[in-house]
């Protein structure tokens, strides 16, 4: 590439070889070095609509002629030179107008008239003036024709129609359609016999076999969709050889290529089962029984549903009892899975299975019986949603006996107060006997007299009282919201009150512990000679005297409560057992009976009960809780006085709930309902073995009955059945 014409030196001539037959250049021409390569010019046709006539000079013509005539000019220095080329003609497409309703409306206006003219002019023409058969008629005729293309068209259209508008596809409206579909299913037997020996893998590789099997599956799918209508299911069950065809399809080899067809057939059997007859020598039932041991979930699920529909309410011959123990054990194991559909189908099967006493005895045989009962009890809270139900209880219509006076302090509280000097002692005394209430008030004279009456006896011992004026001022120190007020009285007088406090029902200690008062009714304020009919102190029923009756009519009876006040619930219980429920002397009163006189309780009135243990168990329900509520503040580690009230205006009660599935009416539904019905069948027909199994689950059943409201009625029936079984035994 660095050699040029200037630095080239001509070499000496070589002798011409004999083999060189190339022409010798004329002596006038000189050899020269190769020139620079000519730029490549690619083909670029002229697309202008008109032909061009470019002017050519003589030199251009000679140059082009020289290039075409000399082959050396096209390849000089091993470089290709492409000659220029121009197309001599243009091959552009020629457009032709197309008639449309927009640009040629006259062509489409008289279409029907021209068709009528053709019919008149040539009436013998085949199909002239006929719109064709209805779609369903063509589908039905094509299916019966046996022509492969027509059968394929008919099956594809039926699959679409049965899916989109299956409710309108009635078997009775199209005679012969269902029979043709069942005849298509018959071909599966010959197809399986011809190819099943080659193996499942080879079957799927055979395109002809796959095509035929696909068309049979389409026919089965159409029948399956149609059978969901009750009228179609009844029609199919009456077809000749229809049941035998179904059994044949279900008895196909266990190869995977036939699984889809079996699923469609099982759905058909489930829909048609209520129209089939059931007998001991039935050929359909053993086929369904064999599928229970299959490894295919769909076959097991479909077979369980079909068996339940087949024996529902009409298994007098106990055909379901023919199922062997191996299949029953597998069903027991399947209910432990977290598969809702499979568990529901297994429980439906067990419900039908336990309607016979012999089947129940086989089901609960030890040791498997304990496990099946535990699993059924566990399913009572299947997918339960835990939560709390808040209930507000209002007071009863009975009058509530409340003490309006200032409570008297026990001696232990008085001893603690005497250790303080005035005015601290007065402030603490107010807190022990009163509590804040913005709507209540008390007269200043009543407050001062109660304080004076309680501590006057200790003045001689060197503990003087606070003056009355200072005592009244000290109320605001004990209670921030309390204040002394003067109210005018009609008639010109004045009333001096303390606004914002009220007496406690029971006193409170300096440390904040609220005492408990005994609410046992010891008698009435109009008793005469002890003949009021009730020995209130001991709770023993006596004779009703005439004097007591006359006194009762003379003035209203006012109950008198026991004045005892105890620090803890244990002390209150000991007090009741000792003073109010002491054992009566059988020598003095052999027929004495005990009564509950706690706060107006009428549980054993008027006859009473001689059983002291029964009475103690009842009175125990009136006692407050033995353990005080936990609190971080020392002053509130004991219950307030209002918390111990038996009849508050409103009580907030929180009930624990475990809600399971319910239907539109709010009643129990789903797996928990079926599980409790199976347990009830076991309790009714299981005899002694069932009683022994259910006794161990009674605590769990009672708890579920308390927290699961929809199932409470059914569990109560189950427990009643268990109790009746124990009575019969």
- Residue 489: helix, strand or coil by DSSP? strand
Question: What sign has the CA pseudo-torsion 686, 714, 301, 352?
Answer: positive
Element (H, E) at 246: helix 242-250
Contact call for residues 575 and 518 (beta carbons, < 8 A): yes
What is d(CA 230, CA 677) in angstroms, rounded to the nearest whole number?
A: 28
Q: What pLDDT does 467 receive?
A: 87
What are the percentages of helix, strand and coil residues in the chain, rounded to 5? 50, 10, 40
Q: Which residue, 610, 538, 518, 522, is CA-closest to 579?
A: 538
The owner of tokens 């107060």 is 417
What is d(CA 668, CA 708) in angstroms, rounded to the nearest whole number?
A: 10
Q: What pLDDT does 458 receive?
A: 86
- Is the model's pLDDT at 153 over the cut of 90? yes
Q: In angstroms, how far is the first alpha carbon of the chain from the final one?
A: 123
Of the pLDDT bands very low, low, confident and very high (cuts 50, 70, 90), residue 378 is very high
Which of the two residues, 232 and 438, has the higher pLDDT score? 232
Of the pLDDT bands very low, low, confident and very high (cuts 50, 70, 90), residue 33 is low
Q: What pLDDT does 303 receive?
A: 94
* Residues in contact with 558: Cβ distance below 8 Å, sequence separation at least 6, in sequence order: 524, 525, 526
- Is the model's pLDDT at 106 over the cut of 60? yes
Which of the two residues, 118 and 555, has the higher pLDDT score? 118
Of the pLDDT bands very low, low, confident and very high (cuts 50, 70, 90), residue 299 is very high
Angle at 427 between CA 422 and CA 429, to 5 degrees: 100
The length of the chain is: 729
Contact call for residues 363 and 354 (beta carbons, < 8 A): yes
Tell me the pLDDT tens digit for each residue of 634-658. Answer: 444 444 434 444 444 567 888 888 8
What is d(CA 425, CA 509) in angstroms, rounded to the nearest whole number?
A: 13
Q: What pLDDT does 265 receive?
A: 94
Q: What pLDDT does 151 receive?
A: 93
- The stretch 336-359 carries a mean pLDDT of 93
Q: Which residue pairs from 686-691 have beta carbons closer than 8 angstroms and sit at least 24 positions apart in sequence?
A: 686/360, 686/361, 686/364, 687/357, 687/361, 687/725, 688/729, 689/361, 689/364, 689/365, 689/366, 689/369, 690/360, 690/364, 690/725, 691/722, 691/725, 691/726, 691/729
Tell me the pLDDT tens digit for each residue of 700-718. Answer: 999 999 899 889 989 988 8
- Is the model's pLDDT at 132 over the cut of 60? yes
What is d(CA 709, CA 658) in angstroms, rounded to the nearest whole number?
A: 8
Q: What pLDDT does 539 receive?
A: 53
pLDDT more than 90, % of the chain = 23
Angle at 226 between CA 222 and CA 227, to 5 degrees: 115
Q: What pLDDT does 471 receive?
A: 86
Tell me the pLDDT tens digit for each residue of 436-466. Answer: 888 888 888 888 888 888 888 888 888 888 8
Q: What pLDDT does 150 receive?
A: 92
- Is the model's pLDDT at 240 over the cut of 70? yes
Q: Hey, which of 5-9, 120-124, 406-410 has the most confident mean pLDDT?
A: 406-410
- Look at domain 411-513 and name its CATH class: mainly alpha
Q: What pLDDT does 621 receive?
A: 83
What is d(CA 708, CA 500) in angstroms, rounded to the nearest whole number?
A: 46
- The stretch 241-245 carries a mean pLDDT of 90
3-state SS of 569-618 is HHHHHHHHHHHCCCCCCCCCCCCCCECCCECCCCCCCCCCECCHHHHHHH
Instruction: Tally DSSP H helices, then E strands, for the chain.
Output: 30, 11
Tokens of 166: 């299956």
Of the pLDDT bands very low, low, confident and very high (cuts 50, 70, 90), residue 203 is low
Q: What pLDDT does 628 receive?
A: 45
- Is the model's pLDDT at 13 over the cut of 80? no
Which of the two residues, 461 and 37, has the higher pLDDT score? 461
Tell me the pLDDT tens digit for each residue of 173-193. Answer: 998 999 999 999 999 988 888
């Amino acid at each position: 590439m660095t050699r040029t014409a200037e630095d080239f030196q001509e070499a000496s001539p070589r002798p011409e070889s004999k083999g060189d037959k190339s022409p010798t250049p004329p002596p006038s021409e000189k050899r020269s070095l190769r020139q620079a390569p000519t730029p490549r010019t690619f083909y670029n046709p002229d697309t202008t609509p008109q032909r061009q006539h470019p002017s050519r000079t003589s030199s251009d013509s000679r140059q082009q002629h020289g290039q075409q005539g000399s082959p050396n000019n096209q390849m000089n220095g091993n470089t290709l030179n492409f000659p220029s080329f121009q197309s001599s003609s243009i091959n552009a497409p020629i457009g032709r107008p197309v008639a449309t309703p927009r640009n040629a409306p006259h062509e489409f206006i008289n279409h029907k008239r021209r068709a009528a003219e053709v019919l008149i002019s040539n009436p013998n023409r085949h199909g002239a003036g006929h719109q064709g058969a209805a779609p369903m008629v063509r589908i039905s005729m094509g299916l019966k024709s046996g022509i492969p293309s027509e059968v394929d068209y008919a099956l594809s259209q039926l699959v679409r129609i049965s899916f989109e508008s299956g409710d309108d596809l009635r078997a009775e409206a199209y005679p012969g359609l269902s029979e043709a579909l069942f005849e298509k299913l018959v071909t599966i037997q010959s197809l399986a016999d011809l190819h099943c020996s080659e193996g499942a893998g080879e079957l799927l590789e055979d395109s002809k076999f796959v095509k035929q099997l696909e068309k049979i599956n389409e026919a089965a799918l159409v029948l399956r969709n149609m059978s969901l209508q009750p009228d179609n299911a009844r029609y199919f069950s009456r077809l000749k050889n229809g049941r035998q065809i179904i059994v044949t399809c279900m008895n196909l080899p266990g190869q995977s290529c036939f699984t889809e067809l079996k699923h469609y057939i099982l759905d058909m059997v489930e829909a048609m089962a209520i129209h089939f007859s059931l007998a001991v020598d039935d050929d359909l039932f053993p086929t369904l029984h064999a599928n229970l041991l299959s490894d295919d979930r769909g076959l097991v699920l479909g077979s369980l549903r079909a068996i339940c529909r087949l024996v529902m309410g009409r298994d007098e011959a106990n055909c379901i009892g023919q199922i062997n123990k191996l299949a029953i054990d597998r069903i027991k194991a399947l209910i432990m899975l977290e598969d809702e559909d499979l568990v529901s189908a297994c429980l439906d099967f067990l419900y039908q299975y336990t309607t016979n006493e012999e089947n129940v005895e086989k089901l609960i045989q030890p040791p498997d019986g304990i496990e099946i009962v535990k699993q059924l009890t566990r399913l009572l809270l299947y997918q339960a949603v835990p939560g709390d139900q808040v209930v507000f209880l209002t007071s009863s219509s009975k009058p509530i006996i409340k003490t309006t006076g200032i409570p008297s302090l026990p001696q232990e509280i008085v001893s603690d107060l005497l250790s303080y000097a005035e005015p601290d002692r007065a402030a603490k005394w107010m807190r022990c006997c009163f509590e804040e209430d913005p709507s209540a008030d008390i007269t200043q004279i009543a407050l001062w007299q109660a304080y004076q009456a309680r501590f006057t006896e200790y003045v001689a011992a060197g503990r003087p009282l606070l003056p009355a004026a200072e005592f009244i001022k000290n109320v605001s120190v004990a209670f921030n919201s309390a204040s002394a007020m003067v109210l005018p009285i009609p008639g010109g007088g004045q009333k001096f009150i303390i606004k914002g406090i009220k007496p406690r029902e029971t006193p409170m200690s300096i440390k904040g512990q609220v005492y408990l008062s005994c609410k046992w009714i010891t008698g009435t304020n109009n008793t005469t000679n002890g003949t009021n009919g009730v020995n209130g102190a001991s709770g023993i029923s006596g004779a009703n005297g005439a004097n007591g009756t006359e006194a009762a009519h003379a003035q209203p009876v006012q109950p008198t409560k026991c004045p005892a006040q105890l620090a803890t619930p244990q002390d209150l219980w000991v007090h009741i057992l000792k003073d109010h429920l002491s054992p009566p002397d059988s020598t003095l009163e052999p027929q004495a009976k005990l009564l509950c006189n706690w706060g107006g309780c009428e549980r054993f009135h008027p006859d009473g009960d001689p059983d002291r243990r029964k009475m103690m168990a009842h009175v125990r329900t009136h006692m407050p809780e033995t353990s005080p509520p936990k609190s971080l503040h020392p002053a509130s580690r004991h219950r307030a006085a209002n918390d111990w009230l038996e009849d508050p205006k409103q009580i907030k009660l929180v009930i624990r709930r475990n809600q399971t599935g319910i239907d539109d009416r709010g009643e129990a539904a789903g797996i928990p309902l079926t599980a409790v019905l199976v347990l009830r069948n076991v309790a009714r027909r299981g005899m002694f073995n069932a009683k022994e199994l259910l006794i161990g689950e009674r605590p769990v059943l009672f708890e579920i009955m308390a927290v699961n409201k929809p199932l409470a009625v059914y569990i109560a029936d189950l427990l009643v059945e268990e109790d009746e079984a124990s009575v019969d035994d």
